[in-house]
Structure 1
Amino acid sequence: MTLRRDVLAAIDADRGAFRSRFSTLVDDHGLDLASPAPRSDSPDDRDHPDDRSEREALLVDRVRAFDDLPLGLTLTGPAYRDTPIVYVNRWFRERTGYPLDELRGRNPRLFQGPDPDPDARSDFREALSTWSTVTVELENRRRDGTPFVNRVSLRPLSGDAGTVTHWVAAQEPEPIDESGEDSG
């Protein structure tokens, strides 16, 4: 499996399997990541003082365990509430230039460029409505407006009742050459 799929599977693992999957993932991919303990080492990483459910807090901690992974991770709420951003890992925040408090509660569409690909948007809408996984390539924008190509894999996260409570996305931005243009 790819790193992206392994990370998404680890985040979606049952409570007892997460730590084991995390350790295996770190070993199999040769990653240098800290223990998957909750972290609050910077003001941007601390929990938002809201009515976060136990499940949402657990999912935030899992995504936070991958803060330094060279892969963007975004945790959002349910589609019926316009999939608000709950947490974005540090690596992706640094890559896009957005602080967490500016992202929290907003829809990931804020990353869209001025002319979004209609096929990719259609694939996203279908995945959200059928609770399925999808991977698409998009042209996104950083906070300063600089474009970048982003390969996004979206995965539904189901609660105990079997309904989708959250979504997690893994983003693999293409490298940028010195001219500021995407090289991919």
Structure 2
Amino acid sequence: MGIREDALDLLACDGDAVRTRFAEFVSRHGVTSDRPRTDAGAVADPDRGGRADLSALTERDRRLIDRVRLFDTAPVGVTLCGPAYRDTPILYVNRTFRDRTGYSLDELRGRNPRLLQGPHTDPAAVAKLREAVSIWEPVTVDVWNHRRDGTPFLNRVSLRPLSGDDGTVTHWVAVQAAVQAAIEGPTDRTRDAER
């Protein structure tokens, strides 16, 4: 398994298995977390040097954000979004994602990931992502995204739903890896998720 698949498995695992899975992830990929944990009511916002008040978040939101924060130094972008019925708002993105896109956490929080779409984004890739969200299924798609300054980059996005204790999808997690490619216009290179 590659780093994207391992990260998705870790992010989706049962809460009791996180420590063991993270130790396995570190030994396999050499990625460690350097982010201090925060109290349950706030998450450190490294872009602003302070804390963002996230008191409206559920305990599950906070636990998942802390889990994604483990990946702040991973060589892949990681995004945690809320439920689709609320327009899938971004709750947290790791440092790699922020560095790659040029957006701060404050600019991203509460917005839908579609803000990365632009003139080079292929509608077929977006349709695959939308379909996966609508049927609550994982998917992997190569999609042209755009940085804050408008510069396009090809991104391999692996998206997976996260279910709560009752089996209902409560969140979405995505792992993104930049793909080297020349801009030749939109691409419809998409793949179904590796299961």
Alignment of 1:5-44 (within 5 A): 5-31=5-31, 33-34=32-33, 38=37, 40=44, 42=46, 43=48
Contact (CA 8 Å) 2:45, 2:105: kept in 1 or not? no
Moved more, 121-130 or 157-166: 121-130
For 1:57, which of 54, 62, 70 is the aligned residue? 62
Q: Over the residues paired in the alignment, what is the CA RMSD in angstroms?
A: 2.0
Structure 2 residue corresponding to 1:66, chosen from 61, 71, 76:
71
Indicate yes or no: 2:106 matched with 1:101.
yes
CA–CA distance in 2 between the matches of 1:157 and 1:12?
6
Task: State the Cα distance separating 1:77 from its structure 2 match.
Answer: 0.6
For 2:33, the aligned partner's letter is A
- What secondary structure, in the 3-state scheme, does the structure 2 residue paired with 1:162 have? coil
- 2:84 aligned partner, one-letter code: A
Residue 124 (structure 2) pairs with residue 119 (structure 1): yes
Match of 1:138 among 140, 143, 148: 143
Q: Which has the higher strand share?
A: 2
Other structure's SS at 1:137 match: strand
Report if aligned partners of 2:154, 2:178 keep a CA contact under 8 Å in 1.
Answer: yes
Task: Tell me the amino acid that sits aligned with residue 13 of structure 1.
Answer: C
Is 1:169 the counterpart of 2:168 in the alignment? Answer: no
Percent identity reads: 56
Once the two structures are superposed, what CA deviation does each residue of 1:38-70 show, in whole Å capped at 9, x if it has no partner? 253834674543311000000000000100101
Question: In 1, Cα distance between the equivalents of 2:89 and 2:179?
Answer: 25
Q: Which amino acid in the other structure matches residue 2 of structure 1?
A: G
Measure the CA separation in 2 of the matches of 1:116 and 1:147: 8
Shift of 1:175: 4.6
CA contact under 8 A between 1:37 and 1:61: conserved in structure 2? no
Greater mean alpha carbon deviation, residues 19-28 or residues 36-45: 36-45
Structure 1 stretches lacking a partner, 5+ long: none
TM-superposition CA deviations, 1:131-177 (whole Å, max 9, x none): 1000001111000111100000000000111111000000101258x
C-alpha displacement at 1:28, in angstroms? 1.3
With normalisation by structure 2, the TM-score equals 0.84
Query: TM-score when scaled to structure 1?
Result: 0.89
- SS of residue matched to 1:26: helix
Q: Pick which of 138-147 and 42-51 moved more.
A: 42-51
* Residues 33 and 69, structure 2, Cα contact 8 Å, conserved in 1: no
